[in-house]
Structure 1
Amino acid sequence: MKDILRPILELLVVLPGLLLGYFPVKTYLKQSPGRLAAWLFPLMACLCIGSGLACYRLHASTVFALAGVALAAVCLYTRTLTISLWKSGTIALSVCAVFACVNSLSRAVSAAIIRNLQLPPDGPWLCLGACVFYNAVCWVIVLAAYYPATHTVRAMVEDDNFAQTWYVFWVLPLAFILLNLFMIPRYQSTLQTSRVLQGYIVLSSALLVFMFCFNAVFLLMATSLNRNAKLQQENQFLSMQQQRYENLRTAIEEARQARHDMRHQLNQISALAEAGDLENLKSYLAKTVSRIPNLDMCFCENRAADSVVGYYCAMAKRDEIPFRARLDLPETLPVDEIDMCLVLSNLLENALEASLRTAPGRRHIELTACVHADRILLIEVENAFDGEINEKNGVFRSSKRRENGIGIQSVTRIAEKTGGTSTFTHQNGTFTAKVMLCG
């Protein structure tokens, strides 16, 4: 009976690893946690038990069985999440790397138990005591990692600013996994040598400690980078508000000057009318009307949205692009204002760039935003575009500069994060973006 349990216990460590992987991505599940656990964990438990029994019957090592079960768990894990494959795959690799280090340490513990008790190395699996140690350490790691995984790591996963971080971090856990595989001795008896066993214990323990240290350093670096990115975004929004304030002050000054000159203008108009000089009267009235400033200074009650829209409205007027905005947004929104500003700034900047590449006669930008059912924010931006659309697999990609935007893909991620949707269509030379954010 003990021999049957040994390979099964070696494979059952996939269950705590799977649980650890789900801690930071709970909000990205495609189905409820209870429903997911009801079928996923029994399925993986049956797969581990079946693979363990097969290893027992064939008297084979669990290395390949563990690799197959872990691969199946990773595939199911990534398929049950709505986040990108880079993020989910990197989290899965990180968990596998930590548990691979624990596996090496458990192998050393198994060799030490067999050597001290002078037990015969009668199987290709860990001894029963080492299997219990293996599972116990894995569950202790899961319990210890619960708080940082559900807070710090989750915040990093939900942050869309530094998605490129996930494109490089996978190298680190993969290197640890390969290193632990390389350390596996060809023969179990190799570890029975005193010096080899001591060195193996030190090396496997050091790898586990280094793995935790590298993960901690990465979290600190990512947190610092994300904090700097948020400060940069806030500075950009403050710059928009400053520009908006300057435009409003200029318009107010022009209106004040116009009111001051109104008496002189009326006297001139009266003189031309008394003289019956209709041509000069018409010309003078046309010049006077052209000097009256546009006093459409307020787009909505929400200051954040008004600042962003006002900023891009001024840029559009500078480039002689017709800009039309219909905003019905209250002072307090049901969604996060930072998310709303990011969506607006990205969509309007894309529309502005597209308009500059369009024939002057066809240029236009139309923005509509309103709150629906007290908890849904609807945003629609429409603009003409004569250029070539960079589309791949139904996804429109932004070609604008990277330092002042996070792209159309980020707009989609923000919408999905709030439980909303986003659609982008290009038809008959008109590009339309529709975004729904939920509170």
Structure 2
Amino acid sequence: MIDLLRPILELCIVIPGLLLAYFPVKSYLKRPLAKISIWLLPLILSLCICLGLFCWYFHSSTLPALALIALITIILYLKTLRISLWKSGTIALSVCAVFACINSLSRALNAVILLHAQSIQADPWFDLRTCFFYNAICWFATAITYYPATHAVRTMVEDDNFAQTWYVFWILPLMFITLNLFMIPRYQNTLYTGRVLQGYIVLNITLLILLFWFYAVFLMMATSLNRNARLQQENQLLSMQQQRYEKLKTAIEEARLARHDMRHHLNQISALSEAGDMEKLKAYLAQTVSRIPDLDMRFCENHMADSVLGYYCTLAKREDIPFCAQIDLPQTLPMDEIDMCLVLSNLLENALEASLRTAPAKRQIQVTTYLHAERLLLIEVKNTFDGEIKEKNGMFRSSKRKGNGIGIQSVRNIAEKNGGASTFTYQNNLFSAKIMLRG
């Protein structure tokens, strides 16, 4: 009975590994976690038991069975997520690398236990005490990495400014997995030759420390890049505010000059009216009206939102794109105003780019934004478009480059990180984005 437990316990470490892989991507699940767990956990546990029984019956190593279960688990893991394959695949490989190092460390411990028991067995599985240690250390690793996985790693996953790094980072965990597989001794007795066992233990501990060190450096680098990207975004918003301020100053100065010239205009109108020269009067009125500055420049009380809307309104007018805005925002908002501006900027930039690819007669951008129940900010942006919108598994394909569109995914991440929501629909050449930000 004890021998039967050993291969099963060796395979069951897949379960904490799967749990750890889900920590950073909980918000990207296609279905609620409870519904996925109902069928996924029993399935993985059944595979562990069945293949464990197979290994016990044929007295074979669990390594091929573990590789098979890990492969099936990774495929199911990828299928349950609506996220880039580069990100989800790299996370899965990163977890496998940690558990591969723990496996090698457990192998070293198993050799020590057998040496002290003076029972260098020919069984292909770990000693029962090693099996319990193996599972305990895997669950411990899952527990201690919960906080960084759900905070630092999650932020890194959500940060689209860090997207290109995922294309190369997967190489690191793959190297550690390969190295640990290469270190598995072909014959158990090899570990008891000279000082091989001591060197094997030191090497395994060093590899595990090195792996965590690489992960820590990667997280610090991601945090630094994210901070720099945030500063760039804030600088861009400040630039928009500066442009908005300069434009308002110009409009105010033009209005002051117009008021100063008002008496002259009234005298001229009076003279033309008394002379009965209606044609000249009409021409003069038309000329005067054309010189009056457009003071319809203020959208709302909130300065940051007003700056973003004014910036994109100016760009739209420059391209003869009708821009309709219904904005009702107070001076201060209960949520992060930078996030709000990033959402508006991304949506309006996408709307502007789509409008530029649309026939001039069909162009239109509509923006509606207001605060609901004092804690919810509702944003809706509509724009017309020509052509075809490509969407797969909830991910929109970019029209400017190969791959997924970053703007919409960034909006999704901002909306969902604080319990908000986002929906994107397109029908009859009208694209609509509805965003809820929670304060």
Equivalent residue number for residue 75 of structure 1: 75
Equivalent residue number for residue 95 of structure 1: 95
346 and 206 in structure 1: CA distance in 2 versus 1, 3 angstrom threshold = same
1:128-277 to 2 correspondence within 5 Å?
A: 128-277=128-277
Q: Deviations over 1:340-367 (max 9, x none)?
A: 3223212222333344445555544333
390 and 147 in structure 1: CA distance in 2 versus 1, 3 angstrom threshold = closer
Q: Structure 2 unaligned segments of length 5 or more: list them.
A: none
1:314-329 to 2 correspondence within 5 Å?
A: 314-329=314-329
Equivalent residue number for residue 421 of structure 1: 422
Report the AA paired with residue 421 of structure 1.
S
Q: Deviations over 1:94-147 (max 9, x none)?
A: 111001011112112222332343213221112223223322322332232233
Structure 1 vs Structure 2 CA RMSD: 2.8
Displacement, 1:436? 2.6
Contact 2:354–2:383 at 8 Å: present in 1 too? no
Contact 1:24–1:150 at 8 Å: present in 2 too? yes
For 2:95 and 2:396, locate their aligned partners in 1 and report how far apart those are by CA, in whole Å: 33
Report the AA paired with residue 125 of structure 2.
W
Equivalent residue number for residue 6 of structure 1: 6
Report the AA paired with residue 209 of structure 1.
I
For 1:396 and 1:40, locate their aligned partners in 2 and report how far apart those are by CA, in whole Å: 28
For 2:361 and 2:395, locate their aligned partners in 1 and report how far apart those are by CA, in whole Å: 28
Larger mean CA deviation between 285-294 and 150-159 belongs to 150-159
Q: Structure 1 unaligned segments of length 5 or more: list them.
A: none
Displacement, 1:373? 6.2
111 and 38 in structure 1: CA distance in 2 versus 1, 3 angstrom threshold = same
For 1:173 and 1:384, locate their aligned partners in 2 and report how far apart those are by CA, in whole Å: 43
For 2:310 and 2:27, locate their aligned partners in 1 and report how far apart those are by CA, in whole Å: 34
For 2:222 and 2:344, locate their aligned partners in 1 and report how far apart those are by CA, in whole Å: 26
15 and 204 in structure 1: CA distance in 2 versus 1, 3 angstrom threshold = same
SS at match of 1:300: coil
Contact 2:421–2:437 at 8 Å: present in 1 too? yes
SS at match of 2:261: helix
For 1:34 and 1:410, locate their aligned partners in 2 and report how far apart those are by CA, in whole Å: 26
Report the AA paired with residue 129 of structure 1.
R
123 and 80 in structure 1: CA distance in 2 versus 1, 3 angstrom threshold = same
SS at match of 2:297: coil
1:379 maps onto 2:380 in alignment: yes
Equivalent residue number for residue 61 of structure 2: 61
Contact 1:302–1:331 at 8 Å: present in 2 too? yes
Displacement, 1:63? 0.4
1:299 maps onto 2:299 in alignment: yes
Displacement, 1:34? 5.3
Larger mean CA deviation between 327-336 and 305-314 belongs to 327-336
SS at match of 1:344: helix
Larger mean CA deviation between 239-248 and 314-323 belongs to 314-323
For 1:286 and 1:322, locate their aligned partners in 2 and report how far apart those are by CA, in whole Å: 23
Tell me the percent identity: 65
1:391 maps onto 2:390 in alignment: yes
412 and 31 in structure 1: CA distance in 2 versus 1, 3 angstrom threshold = closer
Contact 2:158–2:413 at 8 Å: present in 1 too? no
Q: Deviations over 1:217-244 (max 9, x none)?
A: 0000001111111111111111111111
For 1:105 and 1:272, locate their aligned partners in 2 and report how far apart those are by CA, in whole Å: 99
Displacement, 1:332? 4.8
425 and 283 in structure 1: CA distance in 2 versus 1, 3 angstrom threshold = same
For 2:352 and 2:39, locate their aligned partners in 1 and report how far apart those are by CA, in whole Å: 49
Larger mean CA deviation between 210-219 and 87-96 belongs to 87-96
Equivalent residue number for residue 312 of structure 1: 312
37 and 236 in structure 1: CA distance in 2 versus 1, 3 angstrom threshold = same
